[in-house]
Structure 1
Amino acid sequence: MIKFADEVRSGPLPTTDLLQLKFTNLENQSVELKSLLHPGKKLVVVVMRGFAGEVCKFCTTQTSRLVSNYSKFTDRETEIVIIYPVSSAQDSSRLQELQMGAAAQLQVPFQNIQSSMPMLLDVDLEAVKKLGIEKNLAKPSTYIFDGEGNVRFAYVGSHLADRPSIQALLDVIDKIQ
């Protein structure tokens, strides 16, 4: 069984204005991160490794765990968005492969994964480059915003499996006012 970090500390907060970052949805429409932030609600932004020849098993596992525990986040007035980096627009279908892998792990219909929370593409690694998290596509990273749009937590994994556990994320969220 894949285990993620239960005890995490925030690293340096990014100097880039994350709310200005733009992503692409599966309908090929541009989505600004700030459009996903709602007053009074926290936002967890999870940047996956992305597609590097195959869908990463750690990305699939993390996605399935976020989906299966989604109500624990919404109970805390927190939304989640998953960002999936791809090196070109031709790789856009890889996000669906990630979703299918998560659905298979949870043994739920693919549509349950698609409709659970926003999952967006970082085409051409634009956000990854601005965040400075490049490494064979992207280092797995998690950013948590408070209800006013301020980044309060930043975790950049040092390797593919280095990601916060669900409980670690919930613990951080519980400490953010």
Structure 2
Amino acid sequence: MRILQQMNAFCVMTLIAFSISASVQAESPAPVQAAKKALAVGQTAKDFQLLSVGGELSGEVKLSDVNADGKVVVVVLRGFPGKQCPACSAQVGDFVKNASKFAAKNAKVLLVYPGPKSQLDQRADEFLQGTKLPAPLTFLLDPGYTFTNAYGLRWDAPRETAYPTTLVLDESGKIQFVKISETHRGRSSAAEVLEAL
């Protein structure tokens, strides 16, 4: 009888440990949880200014200036975490194919490419591979993760840079759609973002 009680106790403890482990694994990483609170629908997006290296807008691009002309989509890419990200390439390709649909909705699309200051220009050129981005897309550099850190999207792990994120801002700068991917997948498609506009 004592052995049976010990086996039952062991089974119960194993189930409890498994449940705790599963719930911990199911929770988002702490930085993602914080970013989801700061970037919640209805919040006003923090202003930022980044350098454009391609697309419709050139020079220093300030979010509030772009937002004054209408809705803005901000797409945070992974940058160069040791290699170019195929999921980022596919996502940008999807937005390029749908550029005219974004233009029809009077929405600017800002693609943010984060990374360390060293070689960021070179890595961005490699990513774009000579592609001329159509209006209303603009490719911005985030050297030293200034924007990424300010928005709480820094994925500070080996061979990582930023949590892939998409924000849709209304004309007043309020977030009306947000999607933060906790992995390399789960990106916002152009169709999903167009629907949110």
3-state SS in 2 of match to 1:160: coil
> What residue number does 1:144 align with?
168
2:98 maps to which of 66, 69, 74: 69
**RMSD between superposed Cα atoms in Å:** 2.4
> What residue number does 1:14 align with?
39
1:154 maps to which of 167, 170, 178: 178
> What residue number does 1:93 align with?
122
Contact 1:25 1:119 in 2 (8 A): yes
Q: Note the residue ranges of structure 2 that are not aligned, 5 or more in a row.
A: 1-35
Supply the distance in 2 between the matched residues of 1:80 and 1:59 (Cα, whole angstroms).
15
* 2:64 maps to 1:34: yes
> What residue number does 1:23 align with?
50
The one-letter code sitting in structure 2 at the alignment partner of 1:57 is P
Aligned residues between the structures: 153
Question: Structure 1 or 2: larger helix share?
Answer: 2
Larger radius of gyration: 2
Give the drift of 1:131: 1.1
2:108 maps to which of 79, 83, 97: 79
Give the drift of 1:13: 5.0
- Give TM-score scaled by structure 2 length: 0.69
Percent identity reads 24
3-state SS in 2 of match to 1:64: helix
Contact 1:12 1:154 in 2 (8 A): no
Contact 2:154 2:161 in 1 (8 A): yes
Supply the distance in 1 between the matched residues of 2:112 and 2:180 (Cα, whole angstroms).
14
Supply the distance in 2 between the matched residues of 1:124 and 1:142 (Cα, whole angstroms).
20
